[in-house]
Amino acid sequence: MSDTNGRKVIANTNLSLDGRYDGPGAPTDMSWVLPYAVTDTARDHMTDLWRHATTALLGRVNAEGFLGFWPTVIGTEGVDPRDEAFAKWLVDTDKVVLSTTLTEAPWERTVIENRPAADVVRDLKAAEGGDILVPSSASVIKDLLEADLVDRLALMHFPVVLGGGPALFDRPLPAGRWDLVSHQACEHGAVAVVYERAR
* pLDDT tens for each residue of 55-91: 999 999 999 989 999 999 999 999 999 999 999 999 9
Specify the pLDDT at position 24: 84
Give the DSSP H or E segment for 132: strand 131-135
* Residues pairing with 57 in the sheet: 96
User: In the prediction, which pLDDT does 17 show?
Assistant: 95
Classify strands 9-15 and 191-197 as parallel, antiparallel or unpaired.
unpaired
Spell out the per-residue pLDDT of the chain, length 199, in tens: 344 568 999 999 999 999 999 988 766 677 889 889 899 999 999 999 999 999 999 999 999 989 999 999 999 999 999 999 999 999 999 999 999 999 899 899 999 999 999 999 999 999 999 999 999 999 999 999 999 999 999 999 999 999 999 999 999 999 999 999 999 999 999 999 999 999 9
Contact residues for 79 (Cβ-Cβ < 8 A; gap 6+): 73
For each of the domains in the chain, give its residue range(s) and CATH number, in order of start.
9-197 (3.40.430.10)
pTM of the model: 0.93
pLDDT in tens, 141-150: 999 999 999 9
Q: What is the pLDDT of residue 26?
A: 65
pLDDT at 1: 37
Q: How high is the pLDDT of residue 2? A: 41
CB 23 within 8 A of CB 29: yes
**Could you tell me if 136 and 63 are in contact, meaning their C-beta atoms sit under 8 angstroms apart?**
no
In terms of Cα–Cα distance, which of 158, 164, 148, 150 is closest to 187? 158
Beta bridge partners of 157: 15, 191
Strands 9-15 and 131-135: what pairing?
Answer: parallel
Torsion 112-118-124-127 (CA) sign:
negative
Q: Which residues pair with 183 in a beta bridge?
A: 193
Which pLDDT does position 185 carry in this prediction?
Answer: 93
